Amino acid sequence: MLDQVTALRYLDPLRAGGSVPGVVETDDLGTYVVKFTGAAQGPKALVAEVVVGELARRLGLRVPPLVVVDFDPAVAAHEPDPEIQDILRASGGANLGMDLLPGARDFRPGMVDVDPLEAGRVVWLDAFTGNVDRTVHNPNLMVWHGRLWLIDNGAGLIFHHRWSAASAALFKPYPMNAHALGASGPDLAAADAELAPLVTEELLREVVGLVPDAWLADEPGFDSVADLREAYVAHLAARAARSSAWLPARFASAQELRAAEERKAAETAAGRPAWLKQVPNRHGLAQVEADWSRHIG
């Protein structure tokens, strides 16, 4: 079981990503980044956090400790943002806490030296779990005390969003070319030789067993939570046994990434109504800044 703690105080929302996690103090005198079941991503993102995060830990990668946080929305009654209140009020009960790394910074390529074997292990994990959310644009990696830590594994296990199509996607390769560690020369052959044999049914059953029942209840097509857990184990075990089908072959160069970004910005601009074309969107902002710095030389 993951440790169980109780939320005592809701401090702040973290608005950087999409799911608006909250910083929460708990009865073990801890401070956690909490992902809420009531967020738009839903409980499956929390399932992926546990399965992928605990698997990563057992494969030797650094992941902050995970706990189940019992959350009473009353502890956040002072939060003024009505959209965040909606999420919190829909999240009574078990939520996911990740130990807060005080002073950690979001990773940017070049910030610390990442050795090719470590980069290979991270890319291997993401390719295996179908996590396309660790990119140069959104690294979901942190640097703490000079070392790399994996956070935000909630986008992994894409297949569990549609179980009826899961077997068709069993060996599917997912795009890793814009991976945050692509420029660190990931040694995928070494990572595969090391990690694939470690991902046994026993290990998978252990990590899938850590997911609270509440996040697995009522999945259409399954008679029980136990059956659903076994479906995760069977899917991941079969996928691990055929890594040659999904291991990424290459990564985009910095130049290719830039070109893709410019293409995307141009497409976005073309698709916007005339009155909006001068207003930068979230991704277009980088483009505006790049144009601007070119102007001022």
Residues 6+ apart with CB under 8 A from 39: 19, 20, 21, 45, 87, 91
Of the pair 135, 140, the CB lying nearest ligand ADP is at 140
Report if residue 54 touches ligand ADP, rule: CB under 6 A: no
Q: Binding-site residue total for ligand ADP (CB under 6 A)?
A: 19
Of the pair 26, 140, the CB lying nearest Mg ion is at 140
Of the pair 3, 106, the CB lying nearest ligand ADP is at 106
Of the pair 91, 140, the CB lying nearest ligand ADP is at 140
Report if residue 98 touches ligand ADP, rule: CB under 6 A: yes
Triad 27, 33, 37: Cα angle to 5°? 95
Question: What binding mask, one character per residue, do residues 2-21 give for Mg ion by CB under 5 A, x or -?
Answer: ---------------x----
Query: In 3D, which of 159, 21, 28 has the Cα closest to residue 79?
Result: 21
Report if residue 3 touches ligand ADP, rule: CB under 6 A: no
Report if residue 140 touches Mg ion, rule: CB under 5 A: yes
Partner from Mg ion, ligand ADP, none contacting 182, C-beta within 5 to 8 A by type: none
Q: In what order do the strands lie in the sheet with 147-150?
A: 105-106, 141-144, 147-150
Query: In 3D, which of 139, 143, 148, 154 has the Cα closest to residue 20?
Result: 154
Q: How far is the CB of 100 from ligand ADP (least distance, A)?
A: 4
d(CA 194, CA 189): 9
Of the pair 140, 243, the CB lying nearest ligand ADP is at 140
Report if residue 111 touches ligand ADP, rule: CB under 6 A: no
Concatenate the DSSP letters of all residues of 115-176 into one string: -HHHHHHHHHHHHHHT----BSSS--EEEETTEEEE---TT--GGGG-GGGTGGGTT-----
Q: How far is the CB of 155 from ligand ADP (least distance, A)?
A: 8
Check: CB of residue 72 under 8 Å from CB of residue 9.
Answer: no
Report if residue 33 touches ligand ADP, rule: CB under 6 A: yes
Among 8, 14, 132, 190, binds ligand ADP (CB under 6 A): 14
3-state helix, strand and coil shares in percent for the chain, rounded to the nearest 5: 45, 15, 40
Residue numbers of the site for ligand ADP (CB under 6 A)? 14, 16-19, 21, 33, 64, 98-101, 104, 106, 140, 142, 151-152, 154
